[in-house]
Amino acid sequence: MFRYFSLLLAFGCVIHPSHGTEVMVKDKDDKLCLYANLMVNFSVSYEAADNKSNTVQFELPANVMSDGSKCEETNSMLKLDFGAGHSWSVKFTINGNVYQADSITFSYNLSDSTIFPKSASNETVSVIVRPHITDVSMDTCYSCNSKETIQAESVNQTLWNVLIQAFISNGTQSKNLTTCAADLPTPTPTAPDTTTVAPVTNVTTSAPPSTTTPTPTLPTPSTGNYSIKPDENSTACLLANFGLRIGVKQGEKYQEINLDPNRTSVSGSCGGNSSELVLVSSAMTISFAFTNDTKKFRLQGVNVTAKLSSGTVFSEGNSSLSLWEASVGSSYMCNKEQNYTITGQLNVFTFDLQVQPFEVKKGLFSTAEECFLDSDLSFLVPIAVGVALSFLIVLVLISYLIGRRKSRTGYQSV
């Protein structure tokens, strides 16, 4: 059982005063395993009963419950429940000697009239986004006083005065910090060298060698078999098999990266209306957010953080997708290679795909609904195009002959 403590003084990382929402999570041995002290503002747009769109703003309150939080060896979750059915949670995973926040899930209950007056809906909506909390050294606190605004459909979340340490060892919070880039001082630019250099003459030079290296063609990625279980004694509640590649564009440079299933850790969650699959490798972290409306499920969100060959960290996502749609209680299948444009800078390629995020029975895939490219009708498309082109050519030829005949008849009658 995890417990919530409201503190008057910060514990550990003492250079930060207490502020905002502060929680301490303890493990089954009653040892501190996760600490958080942060401020979050929400801006939510929703449909009101008078067919108008309202926007409300509110803060994460100081009084929250963290019973849903958990600490495990390689992944942990901070889950804060507040108000009338609202929650805010962060998932953390270890990647070598560092840890990171893979995703933030914000769920808000539109039936709460104190926050959402005259709402036209009573449903609980969830959005999943990815924060820029990456490469945090183990046994250090992540610190970021600067504001970070994370945008998603209808929801903006602003985080600041953040102090978090996940994976606390021996129950003792560290006093060492990993500071976010926004808080680091901007380096002073160096003045240009104005020393005059005498020109060199009579020097023979050759053209510099080309620095353009063709991008090597990647092999087809291996197919990984991924599953999520509610607990160790249960069968899988989410199944996914696929080979995966991402295409990343930064400026004029484009790079593709395969996901290696043999070096990938799996985490996620299953719910009645939403499920999530998170895959973490040394090259990338990618999360898939699924939703259903009781009849159909679909892939709604994809978030990717990747380490590029240039050494930079790439992070992109989209939470308003509508992909991999199939009936709830069945699986979605597409064996052919698929290329999905997630954002202008991110593409996702799948191979031998089969996924079922809801109503998995006995840990096995249900009957699959195939994508169009796998269906028996897909071969008719090129045939139909060919017939249409042939018909168009015949029409053009007939029109030409008729026009030529009329022109010749007119000439002879003169």
Are residues 158 and 251 both part of a single domain?
A: no
pLDDT-based confidence at 59, cuts 50/70/90? Answer: very high
pLDDT-based confidence at 222, cuts 50/70/90? Answer: very high
The tens digit of pLDDT for each residue in 277-330 reads: 999 998 899 999 999 988 999 999 999 998 888 888 888 999 889 999 999 999
Q: Is there a domain that residue 228 lies in?
A: yes
Are residues 155 and 234 both part of a single domain?
A: no
**CA 157/CA 135 separation, integer angstroms:** 21
The tokens 């919530």 sit on which residue? 4
CB neighbourhood size of 61 (10 A): 13
Provide the residue range defining the domain that includes 77. Answer: 1-183
- Least confident range from 64-68, 163-167, 322-326, 390-394: namely 390-394
| AA identity, residue 316 | E
Q: Is there a domain that residue 405 lies in?
A: no
Q: Is there a domain that residue 346 lies in?
A: yes
Are residues 179 and 291 both part of a single domain?
A: no
Token pair of 39 as six digits: 């401020």
- CATH number of the CATH domain containing 151: 2.40.160.110
What is the tally of structural domains in the chain?
Answer: 2
- Higher-pLDDT residue of 35, 50: 35
Are residues 113 and 178 both part of a single domain?
A: yes
Q: Is there a domain that residue 342 lies in?
A: yes
- Asked whether 61 and 20 are in contact (CB, 8 A), the reply is no
Q: Is there a domain that residue 200 lies in?
A: no
Task: Give exposure, 281-309, as e/b (b: 16+ Cβ within 10 Å).
Answer: bebbbbbbbbbbeeeebbbbbbbbbbbee
Q: Is there a domain that residue 193 lies in?
A: no
**CA 363/CA 225 separation, integer angstroms:** 12
Are residues 162 and 243 both part of a single domain?
A: no
Q: Which of 183, 207, 227 is the last residue of a domain?
A: 183
Token pair of 99 as six digits: 């840890």
Residue 355, pLDDT > 80, answer yes
- Higher-pLDDT residue of 374, 318: 318
Are residues 5 and 126 both part of a single domain?
A: yes
The mean pLDDT value for 251-280 works out to 91
Q: Is there a domain that residue 197 lies in?
A: no
Residue 390, pLDDT > 90, answer no
Token pair of 38 as six digits: 């942060």
For residue 212, the model assigns a pLDDT of 41
Are residues 158 and 231 both part of a single domain?
A: no
The tens digit of pLDDT for each residue in 73-99 reads: 899 999 999 999 999 999 999 988 899
3-state secondary structure at position 260:
coil
DSSP H or E run through 40: strand 32-47
DSSP H or E run through 408: helix 380-412
Q: Is there a domain that residue 396 lies in?
A: no
Are residues 2 and 109 both part of a single domain?
A: yes
- Higher-pLDDT residue of 354, 209: 354
- Least confident range from 59-63, 339-343, 407-411: namely 407-411
For residue 209, the model assigns a pLDDT of 42
- Asked whether 305 and 315 are in contact (CB, 8 A), the reply is yes
Are residues 173 and 225 both part of a single domain?
A: no
Distance of CA 206 to the CA centre of its chain: 48
3-state secondary structure at position 182:
helix
Residue 217, pLDDT > 80, answer no
The mean pLDDT value for 342-360 works out to 95
E strand intervals along 49-176: 53-59, 70-71, 75-82, 86-95, 98-109, 124-129, 136-137, 141-144, 148-152, 155-166
Residue 132, pLDDT > 60, answer yes
- Asked whether 22 and 37 are in contact (CB, 8 A), the reply is yes
Are residues 54 and 137 both part of a single domain?
A: yes
Which residues lie closer than 8 Å to 181 by C-beta, 6 or more apart?
none
Are residues 132 and 243 both part of a single domain?
A: no
- As a whole number, the mean pLDDT across the chain is 83
Residue 8, pLDDT > 60, answer no
For residue 216, the model assigns a pLDDT of 53
> Please, what is the Cα angle at 35 between 32 and 37, to 5 degrees?
150
Are residues 128 and 231 both part of a single domain?
A: no
3-state secondary structure at position 61:
coil
First-residue to last-residue Cα distance in the chain = 104
